[in-house]
Structure 1
Amino acid sequence: MFNFSQYFSNYEQCYQVITWLTCIGLLIVSFEYLAIHKEFKPDGVYSWKVFRSRHNFINNRLFHRLDFLFGYTAFIVCQLLIIGCCIILPFAQDHLLKAILIAIICLISLMISFRNIVGADGSDQLFSIILLTLFISYLINDPFIYRIGLIFISGQVVLSYVVAGIAKGISQKWRGGQAIIMIMNTKTYGHEKIATMLSASSRAFNIFLCWNIIVVECLFFAVIFLPCPWFIPFLIWGFLFHLYNAVIMGLNNFFWAFLAAYPSIFYLNHLITG
């Protein structure tokens, strides 16, 4: 039987898996952007001509000269660059080359975040955290920095779960069992069949679903303290939770961002529990 804990006790193997999963996630994001590329044309929903009007400072002479960096053609080129970097990165052997490729991805991602004022979410932030950690680690190429990087990523992931759980616990709609039904009834993230099924279900069942998420997220910090294999159910729950969100709600980025960070949790757990 494959021993995940033993495998991810090696920081080099952790970085290899994290790099692979991050690249897969970013490739999917870029291909999704390319699938709706027409929306980034001057007459599209995500036109830079429209987005640039949000702040006066963007309309000064300097930004007029930089318009070519945020237009339709530049946007397509940026996505192709990210795709190229993500294809090369997992196979790159030189640490400096890896750092350069990640730096390119980071710079382009920052440009896209500045250009697009809608659609960003927690997965984008987690991808940014992972990419910056990978960049610093590969650039310095020191065992101590590699280990600190993994601890930092795992800490961010655990904190994000716990904060999300506390936020849900504060909400009356989550505590009362209405939250998931309401989400499933939305046009953006909802699913008609699931919404109908939940509406027909008992109040106790809906309360159970909501409290299941609240409790597990609030207790997610236990993954770094519980000995193997007792912390594995938390990660399986997280995997299935994000898989559901990806398939039903269309939150693909969350699935790959959190999955990419899971090796760091294995590593930190191994450091603490031995």
Structure 2
Amino acid sequence: MNPYLAFKNIAFTYQVTLCILSMGLFIASLEDLKSWSIFQPTGLLSWKVAKLSFKWRAKDLRQRLFNVLLQDHVFKCSIYLRAFASLLLFIFSLLNIISPTLICSVFFLNLLMNFRTPYGLDGSYQMTLVILFALSIGSLFGVDSSISTACLLFIAGELLTSYFIAGFNKLISPMWRTSSALHGIFSTKCYGHGFFFQLISCKHLLTTFLSWFVFLFEMLFFTVLFFHPMYTILFFAIGFLFHVFNAIFMGLNNFLFSFSAAYPALFYCVNYIHGT
């Protein structure tokens, strides 16, 4: 049997997805613990500041609940719990165990970050939340149910939509079409890289090629649906290398895991469409 045919099995698709996603969640949890100072009262993402984004009402039950869950000590414990639950989720996925309770727990623990950090959450967090939500619903209804299949199709649709929108926004941007966007990105302190910035600064043709390659790849990624499943590996390999590059040179390692975790669902979707 060809390896790609394994993804016709929903349970196997769930296991691979959870394996990849749990690794990313565990690393993200360790990063949050390492940078805990920004969550402290004097930090940029303190609860004292974050809760100002909510419109509280007197004797609001939600206010009291959030004040308990998102205060420093409790929230830090939730990060430790997220790290432990993610590790447990990884082990379960290796043992072919799909636990709806554990998946829902990881989803809830990850959701807390959205309330504690209402600003600055990137696409990797949103993709992670989408995948966890879909797998939570699918696992609760049973992996072999039609709801579970719909959840995988939903993840695949979210992945293709995310890529297409990202690529289209770059296409209509004069800065990306003229390659000046890459110069701007890699000259910054947050996402820049000295060696790569020097490389693209002296090689205009390379910079233009990379700019156009990125947004054309993102826009045309959806065409994977029209190819036989055996060719899907090529799309995934390019996408994986793209995210590896971003992780190494831009520090966007969370994107590597969150978007790669959606690939198995798309693989299942391609098999589903072609009826292989």
Task: Output the TM-score relative to the length of structure 1.
Answer: 0.91
C-alpha distance in 2 between matches for 1:164 and 1:60: 41
In structure 1, what is the equivalent of residue 39 of structure 2? Answer: 40
Gaps of 5+ in 1: none
C-alpha distance in 1 between matches for 2:36 and 2:210: 38
C-alpha distance in 1 between matches for 2:196 and 2:116: 35
Q: Which of the numbers 150, 157, 160 marks the counterpart of 2:159?
A: 157
C-alpha distance in 1 between matches for 2:192 and 2:215: 20
Contact 1:183–1:190 (CA under 8 A) maintained in structure 2: yes
C-alpha distance in 2 between matches for 1:66 and 1:269: 41
In structure 2, what is the equivalent of residue 68 of structure 1? Answer: 68
Contact 1:8–1:14 (CA under 8 A) maintained in structure 2: yes
Contact 1:168–1:214 (CA under 8 A) maintained in structure 2: yes
Q: Secondary structure at the match of 1:229?
A: helix
How many Å apart are 1:21 and its aligned residue?
1.0
How many Å apart are 1:241 and its aligned residue?
0.6
CA 1:174–1:40: 2 relative to 1, 3 Å: same
In structure 2, what is the equivalent of residue 247 of structure 1? Answer: 248
C-alpha distance in 1 between matches for 2:222 and 2:38: 41
Contact 1:53–1:59 (CA under 8 A) maintained in structure 2: no
In structure 2, what is the equivalent of residue 104 of structure 1? Answer: 105
In structure 1, what is the equivalent of residue 148 of structure 2? Answer: 146
Contact 1:222–1:231 (CA under 8 A) maintained in structure 2: no
CA 1:59–1:187: 2 relative to 1, 3 Å: farther
How many Å apart are 1:272 and its aligned residue?
2.1
Q: Is structure 2 residue 85 aligned with structure 1 residue 85? A: yes
Deviation per residue, 1:27-72 (Å, 9 max, x gap): 11111001112322222232211222344x2485543674232121
Q: Is structure 2 residue 31 aligned with structure 1 residue 20? A: no
How many Å apart are 1:149 and its aligned residue?
1.6
The range that moved more, 39-48 or 251-260, is: 39-48
Contact 2:229–2:267 (CA under 8 A) maintained in structure 1: no
The range that moved more, 225-234 or 250-259, is: 225-234
Count of residues paired in the alignment: 269
Q: Which of the numbers 184, 187, 190 marks the counterpart of 2:189?
A: 187
C-alpha distance in 1 between matches for 2:65 and 2:30: 28
In structure 2, what is the equivalent of residue 172 of structure 1? Answer: 174
Amino acid at match of 2:86: C
The range that moved more, 80-89 or 126-135, is: 80-89
In structure 1, what is the equivalent of residue 51 of structure 2? Answer: 52
Q: Is structure 2 residue 213 aligned with structure 1 residue 212? A: yes
Deviation per residue, 1:92-139 (Å, 9 max, x gap): 4775xx222222222222222111123301111111111011111111
How many Å apart are 1:20 and its aligned residue?
1.0
Amino acid at match of 1:237: I
CA 1:58–1:232: 2 relative to 1, 3 Å: same
Amino acid at match of 1:174: W
Contact 1:4–1:266 (CA under 8 A) maintained in structure 2: no
CA 1:138–1:178: 2 relative to 1, 3 Å: same
Amino acid at match of 2:138: S
Amino acid at match of 1:254: F
In structure 2, what is the equivalent of residue 256 of structure 1? Answer: 257
Gaps of 5+ in 2: none
Contact 1:165–1:215 (CA under 8 A) maintained in structure 2: yes
RMSD of aligned C-alpha atoms? 2.0
C-alpha distance in 2 between matches for 1:118 and 1:188: 16
How many Å apart are 1:229 and its aligned residue?
3.1
In structure 1, what is the equivalent of residue 121 of structure 2? Answer: 120
Q: Secondary structure at the match of 1:267?
A: helix
Q: Is structure 2 residue 198 aligned with structure 1 residue 196? A: yes
C-alpha distance in 1 between matches for 2:11 and 2:166: 30
C-alpha distance in 2 between matches for 1:69 and 1:231: 43
C-alpha distance in 2 between matches for 1:193 and 1:231: 33
C-alpha distance in 1 between matches for 2:250 and 2:38: 21
